[in-house]
Structure 1
């Protein structure tokens, strides 16, 4: 594709209120996005595959959406675009119905050379859900598994933090433009994902706000990019179950974390298991079931985890003892414990997930 014609491709990709399939059909009919941009109204009106409303959307985009401006904004904000007919377009998405016409992204895209696991769950999750979202993501990431999620508050954000703590890569699929971090409280995670080689992805153009109806739509991308989907906590009617349904329609396997029968946040997961979803018993069981490790490695994995747990418990106690009822900085905790920066922050995250400490301002902690 000629470089100076890319701006027209970005223009077409950035049109809202025009479906992915209609964008693709328009480009195919006109042989290029540039010709689509310069199409005369008389010719546009002859295109029977477009409704009157869609024709008006294109006319408005011709007047109000400048291709030069679109390209400049993408470059200024460090955002890349891959189109559904390009070689770099994620292969996992090629087979899903209504695949996005374009993916806007910061950082990198998931690769098919590594296994990908999607993790979704409740925003208002329990400490039980937080603990296992973090553990599964962390230990999967330690085995080079890519974690796909939605950067949302709760299970999504916690699993993505776990993936980073496991030294792996994670990819966040947003229900808004990639230049907007939503929720804002995950801005640190947003940047950390990119810095550690992962990416922030969206089918929505720059500046697109986080509107409610866009989130179920983005869920098909989370499941589509994943080889399997894990549901950690979900109510009977929730976005996580919508994602699970989409995963099944796309031919992906679904696993769910079992929970107490009297817990509303486990009711959706328990029902999924009753309907035939895989049951999550431990990270090593999942790794073995997915063929990522074999039985011998599973035994070794368990032994290493037990040893690590003993060491971590000792270090956890050291960090926990250092945190008091008055705010203390992470630097003070490092000085008092003599532990490395990465270990201290890993333990501080774990203690927060367990509800034992709280971060009251940036890098300042107190006991709960």
Structure 2
């Protein structure tokens, strides 16, 4: 990681080979080789939700985005958006009002506040140290139309789930949703009236199988989180997981297992296994002891030997 200083802020310059580069972006092709950051990056150990939607939103859409983001942030979920007018602005504002963190992915340099009218929100994020400003564009670079569709892949890549609130039939929000689906992420949609132009994009996503977001609790449930910010996936001592998570988890023992072994055993693509491993780590079920080697959390490693709560299992044994 390298530091570039301007007159006001320290801009972090993070390259793919740096340890600080977001792990959630690494599995995907075409991600930026360099990220510029003011403030911080999302905590990889906590869930993140991208909230996107129309720039010319309605008061209904703004209120919903603000309410959902505030509720999610209050329960430990990080909110990611693009600092644009409309739904983005409402999402960032709600996250801050909910006492959480929010991250704005820009289509310009991180030291350029765009739109300029969102300067108060931009400063609120940085001055209160409640998130960060992120971009693949060099500092000082002005916003250009082509930068905005490109930045959407970063928004979806940093998120565990994407929420769309109001979108026209053709809109940038649908690009983010498409990117999320290609990355294997869940997409949820807030319903609107079928006669509204701003509902058409959302209705099309619902037809394609997107989830219906009728409350913040629906999203917490999708992330396996409770309203107190804790993981909601144990009952009577047994781990309760979604189907794909359960398949990957079943192949992880007290002995370390590599990413390559998990891909071979599950038959899943590498990207899908990586995404599932992130969810299992977020849920506290597994941990990465070395690069791309995983064990269940009810084990501990001492001098290369694996110990469980029941004692040593030894080297090379399958528990």
TM-score where L is the length of structure 1: 0.60
Q: After superposition, where does 1:1-368 map in structure 2 within 5 Å?
A: 71-73=4-6, 77-194=9-126, 195-293=128-226
Deviation, 1:72, is 4.8
Cα distance between partner residues in 1 of 2:9 and 2:95:
25
Secondary structure (helix, strand or coil) at the match of 2:133 reads: strand
User: Larger % of strand: which?
Assistant: 2
Deviation, 1:97, is 1.4
Cα distance between partner residues in 2 of 1:156 and 1:240:
10
Cα distance between partner residues in 2 of 1:99 and 1:285:
30
Cα distance between partner residues in 1 of 2:222 and 2:24:
21
CA contact (8 A) 2:47 2:223 kept: no
CA contact (8 A) 1:152 1:183 kept: yes
User: Larger % of helix: which?
Assistant: 1
Secondary structure (helix, strand or coil) at the match of 1:292 reads: coil
Cα distance between partner residues in 1 of 2:46 and 2:9:
28
Of structures 1 and 2, the larger Rg is shown by 1
After superposition, give the CA deviation of every residue in 1:58-84 in whole Å (9 maximum; x if it has no partner).
xxxxxxxxxxxxx454x7531111110
Cα distance between partner residues in 2 of 1:285 and 1:151:
24
Cα distance between partner residues in 1 of 2:226 and 2:20:
29
CA contact (8 A) 2:5 2:11 kept: no
Cα distance between partner residues in 2 of 1:187 and 1:154:
15
CA contact (8 A) 2:36 2:134 kept: yes
Deviation, 1:191, is 1.1
With over 3 angstroms needed to count, the CA separation of the structure-2 counterparts of 1:93 and 1:259, relative to structure 1, is same
Deviation, 1:281, is 0.6
Count of residues in correspondence between the two structures:
228
After superposition, give the CA deviation of every residue in 1:128-179 in whole Å (9 maximum; x if it has no partner).
1011100110000001100000000000011100000000000000000001
CA RMSD of aligned residues (A): 1.8
Cα distance between partner residues in 2 of 1:206 and 1:288:
39
Deviation, 1:232, is 0.4
TM-score where L is the length of structure 2: 0.69
Structure 2 runs not aligned, ≥5 long:
231-319
Cα distance between partner residues in 1 of 2:113 and 2:121:
10
Cα distance between partner residues in 2 of 1:145 and 1:249:
22
Secondary structure (helix, strand or coil) at the match of 2:221 reads: helix
After superposition, give the CA deviation of every residue in 1:105-146 in whole Å (9 maximum; x if it has no partner).
110111111100000000000111011100110000001100
With over 3 angstroms needed to count, the CA separation of the structure-2 counterparts of 1:166 and 1:72, relative to structure 1, is closer
CA contact (8 A) 1:229 1:247 kept: yes
CA contact (8 A) 2:80 2:103 kept: yes
Cα distance between partner residues in 1 of 2:9 and 2:129:
19
Deviation, 1:290, is 2.1
Structure 1 runs not aligned, ≥5 long:
11-70, 298-368
With over 3 angstroms needed to count, the CA separation of the structure-2 counterparts of 1:135 and 1:215, relative to structure 1, is same
